[in-house]
Chains A and B, each alone.
Chain A
Amino acid sequence: MEQLLKCENLTKRYGYKTALDSINLNIDRGRIIGLLGPNGSGKTTLIKLINGLLSPSEGALTINGFEPGPETKKIVSYLPERTYFNSWMKVTDILDFFCDFYADFDRNRAMEMLHRLNINEQDRLSSMSKGTKEKVQLIMVMSRNADLYCLDEPIGGVDPAARDYILQTIITNYNENASVLISTHLISDIENVLDDVIFIQNGHIRLAASVDEIREQEGKSVDALFREVFKC
């Protein structure tokens, strides 16, 4: 099978500021990967490039052999930092929305998860708390049978119990043909579910390794290593 994600000399500049500087990165199938870095390091820029919301200043990026576009949007499921649903929408509207947009959306799976978190399908987004809205959105994104899931800060706004549920959701929906890319700085919360980590700093990749390698070589957790590498 084609390499899932391939970045070659990928560069993104905003005016005179370079957000990503000539990044080379490959992502295989069947992995859960943490994209970790301090604020302003380029995490969201990379995720937006993968999803075709930005285009590279230089270099190239392919998903399953295709440049970001309609072909790749069919196989990439994206959870943006901010919600894009309108607040007048009910949960059922969003379910319809996803059914219309994505052939790989599994409505039953989504309804099951909503049910487990006691979210009523007739509720409007405007009546929900910030955390509940985030849960709804994550459920939609994880209910697609995609090849690549890009989750930008999926656990920032939810309580620890819901955080556990979300991680369980990610583990349960895992399959060996798909990979999950999670950007976050809450490392210790997600460390146990990660296969690999990518440390990114000032638009450069500082480190790309498996969690086991880091623990074997450094004798410390990824969280501890992060604090050391990015000490302020």
Chain B
Amino acid sequence: MAWILDDSRPIYLQIVDLIKTNIIAGVYHPGDKLPSVRDLAMEASVNPNTMQKALTELERSGLVYTQRTSGRFITEDVVKMTEIKEQLAREQIQLFLKNMEQLGFTKEEIRRLLQRELKEDK
């Protein structure tokens, strides 16, 4: 099945985010070998050039590394993973705060509502 991609952003960036999320969420494990560019492109129903570009970007971020002749692997650097996990979490929180502000909530109100929500979850 094709991966779900939206219309507004460059496709390779969306693929970077999807693979990042998969790594963070543990779909791919540290040290796992990634499928080949061609297979990933097939799976996502995108152009191999686009997939290549996405993987290069992931390499640059340090989440994926290439071993000459044997392929691409997920990093085993746990510190790096935690770092990126927290970065993704911060992005989500900032998005949430922005949306709440648009609804007219003050920081104080947001804190109160959030605390109540977290308490109820217990």
Contacts and interface: CB of A to CB of B under 8 A. Distances in A.
A223 interface: yes
Interface of A: 30-32, 164, 167-168, 171-172, 174, 192-195, 211-212, 215-216, 219-221, 223-224
Contact of B49 (A30, A168, A223, A224): A30
Contacts of A164: 2, 45
Interface residues of B, number: 19
B5 A192 contact: yes
A198 to B, nearest CB: 16
Contacts of B24: none
Interface string B29-56: 0000000001001101111111001000
Contacts of B41: 171
A171 B42 contact: yes
Contact of A193 (B8, B10, B47): B47
Contact of A215 (B2, B9, B38): B9
Contacts of B2: 164, 192
A224 B7 contact: yes
Contact of A171 (B9, B12, B47): B47
A213 to B, nearest CB: 8
B11 A171 contact: no
A192 B4 CA distance: 11
A83 B21 CA distance: 46
Nearest to A180: B47
B16 to A, nearest CB: 12
Contact of B47 (A192, A216, A219, A223): A192
Given A171-B45, A221-B7, 18 more contacts: A164-B2, A171-B38, A171-B41, A171-B42, A171-B48, A172-B38, A172-B42, A192-B2, A192-B50, A193-B47, A194-B47, A211-B10, A211-B11, A212-B50, A215-B9, A215-B10, A216-B10, A224-B7
Nearest to B6: A221
A171 B40 CA distance: 11
8 contacts: A31-B49, A171-B41, A171-B46, A192-B50, A212-B10, A212-B11, A220-B7, A223-B7
B104 to A, nearest CB: 27
B45 A192 contact: yes
Contacts of A168: 42, 45
A32 B48 CA distance: 10
Contacts of B45: 164, 167-168, 171, 192-193
Contacts of A174: 47-48
Contacts of A172: 38, 42
A193 B50 CA distance: 8
A224 to B, nearest CB: 6
Contacts of B12: 212
B80 to A, nearest CB: 26
A9 B9 CA distance: 34
A79 to B, nearest CB: 19
Nearest to B1: A164
A195 B50 contact: yes
Contacts of B47: 32, 171, 174, 192-195
